[in-house]
Structure 1
């Protein structure tokens, strides 16, 4: 009788007992196990476990503003306007320094930058330099070549090149010069074409002591006469497109020496001047080649 009562009670309470709810992990495994997407489901579950709880969501959200701030700082730094105060920048950052050569071309400098003491070549073409002074090269004794083509140079101190005893090539082409400074004695090439130089702006002895000068370019200026005392070493003389109206028997030759031959000169250009070369036959008797220009 007691056994029957126990059985009846058990039958009454069994329907009231419910199994414990399955966890999210159990649901994932039961639902996807054995399917083709099982591995993908496991990866998705790991992603959710890592980012979808409250703590990690906040961490993720805090990362995003930091990344945005970093990108903003990067964009702002990329649009900063570079400094125009070139003199405040080290020369070899503003220019290019390579084995004794300094290249400062088209960098908008308006003065000669401080140069490394070992500099032998300076290329400062197409800038805004207006003046050259002795201080610019006072501590650079090894300079052999200077090129200031295409600047705005109007004035050069007479002592600017006085300490450059090794200087061989000097280009001042395409500037605004009215006169020439004292030139270093070892020059082999001097180029001052396309300036505003007048005959009064060239002293009588400017070229006399330049015994190594080989190439002289003074074309496209305002010269009224051929410079005096041109050295014997000259091979090429360009004087075209000036205002030269006359020459003398001593301009290229020696009036008192009919045997004198000027051996080295290969080219003299005088075209584009008002002078009629045919009127001065004795001025060329020492030359192996007649100057280029108008003879009639």
Structure 2
């Protein structure tokens, strides 16, 4: 009986070993990485001082390679793991000329690709059209080619802030699902016009923007949050009803060169105008008619660091801004 039990035990161990090898669940993890049994589809290789992308087993869906010293990605390095869903490569030393032209092209299920905080000078070629979240911020990208994002109908988030982009052109026009676009900290001189119509969040702070076209916001009825702070906007560069659109919920125009409060929609809830050159408080900027039934939805209004004082606010502002919880002057 004891002999039979020992034999069964040994056979069980052998079978388990064969099953693990055959299914790639054990023993195929690169020595430089961790592949915990609790997360059999994840490979953790971050913060290991790596200079190259290690072998990626075919079973993997999530690969974490951030905070290393990787400078290049050779052709075919991901070809064995075509089911990858996340590839996290931020905070490395990646260079555009060191990334194979088709490195990511076979990853037809890839949803998240983080390439931010690297040394890229251009958008990598042949990116999968399955991407939902693409991060390219904090690089040295100066130009967006027309075909850089071609076919990315599922892309919802695109982060391009803190690069050296001077103009966008039509590179982003076909991104039908794009909801969030970050372009802050670049060298833009005007608000890009050929942007997707379904945008909900647009961040353009820390550029050199001097004007906004009069119909830009009215043509994008889904736009709710807009950040244009730390630019060079003047009242002459903003047509009268540019911001008078009902879709906007939050508008940041702080740290510009405005002398008057722009006309806004009564549905706007948060307006940031601090650190401009505003000299007067115009109630008509918020309410075209001031009475019991007509009032602004403003909750937060910042006008501090301008050229007006609390005593400059007219009495009718109390009726117009009756919902405001914060007014800084």
TM-score w.r.t. length of structure 1: 0.62
> Would you say the 8 A contact 2:142–2:163 is kept in 1?
yes
Structure 1, unpaired ranges of 5+: 1-76
SS state at 2:315 partner: helix
Q: In the alignment, does 2:206 pair up with 1:174?
A: yes
2:176 matches 1:141: yes
Q: Which of the pair is proportionally richer in helix? A: 1
Find 2:298's aligned residue among 265, 269, 283. 265
Partner residue, 1:225: 260
Aligned to 2:158, what secondary structure does the other structure show?
strand
**For residues 316 and 204 of structure 2, what CA distance do their matches in structure 1 show?**
29
- For 1:141, what is the secondary structure of its paired residue? coil
Change (3 A) 1:86 1:223: same
Structure-2 residue corresponding to 1:196: 232
Task: Determine if contact 2:272/2:303 at 8 Å carries over to the other structure.
Answer: yes
Query: Does structure 2 conserve the Cα–Cα contact (< 8 Å) formed by 1:132 and 1:155?
Result: no
- 2:236 is paired with a residue of what secondary structure? helix
Offset at 1:81? 7.4
1:261–1:287 CA contact under 8 A, matched in 2: no
In the aligned structure 1, how far is the partner of 2:260 from the partner of 2:208?
19
What CA distance in whole angstroms lies between the structure 2 residues aligned with 1:249 and 1:88? 46
SS at match of 1:122: strand
1:291 to partner: Cα distance: 6.0
Question: 1:247 and 2:281 equivalent?
Answer: yes
Q: Please, which moves more after superposition, 234-243 or 113-122?
A: 113-122
2:188–2:207 contact (8 Å) kept in structure 1: yes
Partners of 2:265 and 2:286 within 8 A in 1: no
SS in 2 for 1:193: coil
- Is the counterpart of residue 206 in structure 1 residue 261 in structure 2? no
Is the Cα contact below 8 Å between 2:266 and 2:287 reproduced in 1? no
Q: Distance in 2 between matches of 1:273 and 1:166?
A: 34
- 1:215-247 Cα offsets, whole Å, 9 max, x none, are 11010111111111x112211100000000013
Cα distance change on mapping 1:81 and 1:207 into 2, 3 Å? closer
Q: Is the 8 A contact 2:123 2:144 kept in 1?
A: no
1:280 and 2:313 matched: yes
Q: How far is the alpha carbon of 1:82 from its aligned partner?
A: 5.9
* RMSD of aligned alpha carbons: 2.9
1:252 Cα deviation from its structure 2 partner: 1.8
User: How far is 1:279 from its partner?
Assistant: 2.1
Cα distance, 1:292 vs. partner?
Answer: 3.1
Cα distance change on mapping 1:91 and 1:121 into 2, 3 Å: farther
What are the equivalent positions in structure 2 for 1:51-66 lying under 5 Å apart? none
Ranges in structure 2 where 5+ consecutive residues have no aligned partner = 1-70, 73-92, 98-118
Cross-structure match for 2:222:
186
Partner of residue 117, structure 1: 153
SS of the aligned residue for 1:131 comes to: coil
How far does residue 197 in structure 1 lie from its aligned partner after superposition?
0.7
Q: Which has the larger radius of gyration?
A: 1
Q: Residue 248 of structure 1 contacts residue 283 of structure 1 at CA under 8 Å; is this kept in 2?
A: no
**DSSP 3-state at the match of 1:234:** coil
The worse-fitting range, judged by mean Cα deviation, of 97-106 and 240-249 is 97-106
Q: CA deviation at 1:108?
A: 0.8
Range with greater deviation from structure 2 (219-228 or 117-126): 117-126
Distance 1:106 1:232 in 2: 36
